Structure 1
Amino acid sequence: MAARVLIQYVVLRGDLRREPFSWPMGATVAQACHAAIAAVHAHYAHPDTAEYLAQGGSMRTVVLEAPDEPALSALADTLQQNGIDHKVWVEQPENIPTCVALRPYPKESVHHLLKTFKLLK
């Protein structure tokens, strides 16, 4: 029997790379990394997280783009309302919400909540 496909979804603000922010690529990638690690840490004891981490090099992560802070905040509200475990990463000391990462989930459990977001380019 094949293992379930678990995915960690990470949604990063695309506007951080554009004016007026103009953050470098490395800084935006770091936001996604921080959020993903924080979500895994917060839900480390969840069976899906353990199964995901046990996959090692076969782990699947999908990085999506939110156009701006209001879209990211709306996503966080939707996830909260639907009982979806996630972490909103807020960069300090600027206090800027930059990214939302879900704990690992089976795709069919959460994809419908994320389908309006495109892959990050």
Structure 2
Amino acid sequence: MTSLVQYVLIRGDLARSLKWPSGAVIAQACHACVAVTHTYYSDPDTQAYLRDLGNMHKVVLEVPDEPALLSVVEALNQDEVPHVVWKEQPENIATCVAIKPSVKGAVSKYVKKFKLYGV
């Protein structure tokens, strides 16, 4: 079976300059992961990813700020890469993006410039 990975991109400025608590930042990623799984539940890659729960592979990456996050979203939209942008409400602030579980090589060009997220 081909290895599937789910990329999650979180804004680093939420914790650093905006001083969000780490739990609030982690919650954003959790919301995005659930939303993308629900949205693309019937997708064959999502189903394969869910069938192998013990071997789920997620990569959580840090983007600097909202403009950088939205730049990735624009590229994903342009190439029709399935993803979900999570927005904190009621402020409507984009905080996180989760990409549907995919073959690593299929989405690496969108995320390779980012480092692992570190609080």
1:38 is the counterpart of 2:35: yes
Large movers: runs of 4+ above 6 Å: none
Structure 1 gaps, min length 5: none
Q: Which residue of 2 aligns with 1:102?
A: 99
Q: CA deviation at 1:18?
A: 1.7
Q: Aligned pairs, how many? A: 118
CA distance in 1, matches of 2:56, 2:2: 11
Q: Match for 2:3 among 2, 5, 12?
A: 5
Q: CA deviation at 1:112?
A: 1.3
CA distance in 2, matches of 1:9, 1:102: 5
CA distance in 2, matches of 1:37, 1:72: 19
* Matched-pair identity in %: 52
Q: CA deviation at 1:83?
A: 1.1
- What does residue range 14-53 of structure 1 map to in structure 2 within 5 Å? 14-19=12-17, 21-53=18-50
Q: Which residue of 1 aligns with 2:70?
A: 73
CA distance in 1, matches of 2:16, 2:93: 15
CA distance in 2, matches of 1:73, 1:48: 25
Structure 2 gaps, min length 5: none
Q: SS at the partner of 1:23?
A: coil
CA distance in 2, matches of 1:57, 1:92: 32
CA distance in 2, matches of 1:53, 1:13: 26
Q: CA deviation at 1:118?
A: 0.9
1:92 is the counterpart of 2:112: no
Task: Calculate the aligned-residue CA RMSD, in Å.
Answer: 0.7
Q: TM-score, normalised by structure 1?
A: 0.95
